[in-house]
Amino acid sequence: MPWFDGSVRRAGLSITCSSCRWPRGTVQIRCVRSGAVVPDPFLSDAVVIGGGPSGMLAAWRLAKSNARVTLLEAGRDMRTSLCSKVSARMDGRSVREAEKFRLQCHRCDCLTGLGGAAFHFDTNLGYVSGLSRSKLEADGEGRVRAYSGLERTLGGFDRASRSVAEVYELMERFGVAALTQSAPSSQDSVVPDGFDLADGAISTAITVDEAIVMVDALLADALPAGLDLRLGTRAESVRRQLDGTWHVQTATEVLRTRNVVVGVGKLGVGWVQSVLDQNAVVHRPSTKVDLGVRIEAPGEILAPLTASCQNPKFTFLNAQSEPVRTFCVCEHGRIMQYAFEDTVLLDGQHCVTTPTSRTNFGVITTVDVPVGVSGTRHAGDFARAVTTAGRGHPVAQPLVDFLGLGGGGASPGTSLVRVTWGDLATVLGPERVADVTRMTELLENVAPGLIGPESVVAAPVIERIFPAIELSDDMESSAPGLYFVGDSSSKIIGVTYGAATGLAAADSILRT
């Protein structure tokens, strides 16, 4: 450009070139007639990093409110970021017609892309039209209380409830089937003998096909409003500048913005740690992480478990006063395996469109991490210990053998694709074995036959591994203008919770 020379600098302006970074500084453009400062055309209102539920809803809200917002997603759009085996068979058909759930991998790496990991598989949405307190904790003085993770994240139960209701309203607007049943409170659920809490809040499933429709509709609404969507674009670094603005570095340019919303999933935990450190964000290593297993059994045996709701949550406190609970019940689903750093983790897959004959669920303990140890590292070490014993694969064991009852005989059937059958009980250690043993004994009263020859226990499962970040009720960190939402907030996990935090961050930005 002919005007981009030393005269610009002599006039008191400083323009940063995205290619060579010269000259450094803040752009300030003044009208030559009035002297008024002209809004910087290179400075956006927000950059949202991550196109999962939290990032998409945050970006949509900002764009629809006339904010200048860029959404960075390391993956691609939903259709092309699905498993290549599925995409090759779709050819204009729906995911269901492509029989997606017969195509499994032993190390899934198709977890990036618009929609996030959750929407790349049939999934379950909790709390249709109300919020319940499904978590339990002991305070060290003998007092036990139930709470909602979103309640604490957003600063109050009423606000969290309203936010979840709004998330459902938006999802329905974008094509998710309406479901108006009220969700009972934890206190309304019948607590089976031996458990300290049972939560039977109504939830609903969303298939991949429905998720594609929803994402398409959301983008069709946001893009004409000005959303700048960058697919296949990874944020390499996020740095606060002396003037309070932010620079988001990608492989090809520096995006300058007033606010940054970080909404990456579990796979981005190491990158989030670097952002915290580089910007001196107040945080501490997590002191509690979720460690556990998945249990799988024939669907007919576990049918009583899901008779009243799709995803029941049963909790008891173990001998260390740590909560042990069922997690992510997948009725007629599969156990999926995905790559995480140098190990393989397990999760539940809801096979709504192509159900299997088996049901699986997680059993996880919210473990108090040893003093002086990072929870993120502690969880990683747990996962590595299991997969090392499995020679690079998850480890599975017949449940009766795991419990020391014998009589397991041949390996039971399982939806796991590649797994090492071995002595999982020895690998997990006595405390985790005690938790799983107690849970299965209690659930045997709910679903007789669970402790039988066709049941399998497999590991590793880890959750809530992000560093504990100090955040406001609007998800803003100690570095003004830097927000963390969804999984990366360190406060919550899940689709509806994540979407609610994305909206909270966007609303905060719009108020400033």
pLDDT tens digit sequence for 12-39: 344 444 444 433 344 455 565 666 655 5
Structure tokens belonging to residue 360: 């699986």
- Mean pLDDT along residues 497-507: 97
Q: How far is CA 344 from CA 42, 83, 105, 387, 388, in A?
A: 42, 17, 12, 7, 10
Residue 56 maps to a domain: yes
SS3 189: coil
319 lies in the same domain as 227: no
CA nearest to 179, candidates 247, 127, 107: 127
249 lies in the same domain as 322: no
pLDDT at 319: 94
pLDDT at 185: 44
271 lies in the same domain as 355: no
CB 93 within 8 A of CB 79: no
CB 396 within 8 A of CB 428: no
247 lies in the same domain as 343: no
307 lies in the same domain as 391: yes
The structure's pTM equals 0.89
Q: How far is CA 285 from CA 322, 374, 466, in A?
A: 19, 5, 8
Q: How far is CA 478 from CA 135, 155, 242, 335, 481, in A?
A: 27, 17, 15, 39, 9
380 lies in the same domain as 417: yes
CA-based radius of gyration for the chain:
24
Residue 319 maps to a domain: yes
Number of domains the chain contains: 2
Residue 163 maps to a domain: no
Residue 197 maps to a domain: no
Amino acid at 364: I
292 lies in the same domain as 440: yes
pLDDT in tens, 347-378: 999 988 888 999 999 999 999 999 999 999 99
346 lies in the same domain as 394: yes
Structure tokens belonging to residue 407: 């009589």
| Residue 323 scores a pLDDT above 60 | yes
Residues 235 and 251: their CA atoms lie apart, in Å, by: 8
Residue 51 maps to a domain: yes
Average pLDDT of the residues of the chain: 87
Residues 398 and 402: their CA atoms lie apart, in Å, by: 6
295 lies in the same domain as 395: yes
Residues spanned by the domain of 20: 15-79+211-284+469-511
321 lies in the same domain as 402: yes
Non-local (6+) Cβ contacts of 36 within 8 A are 30
Q: How far is CA 261 from CA 18, 34, 501, in A?
A: 21, 35, 10
217 lies in the same domain as 312: no
The CATH number of residue 215's host domain is 3.50.50.60
| Residue 54 scores a pLDDT above 90 | yes
311 lies in the same domain as 423: yes
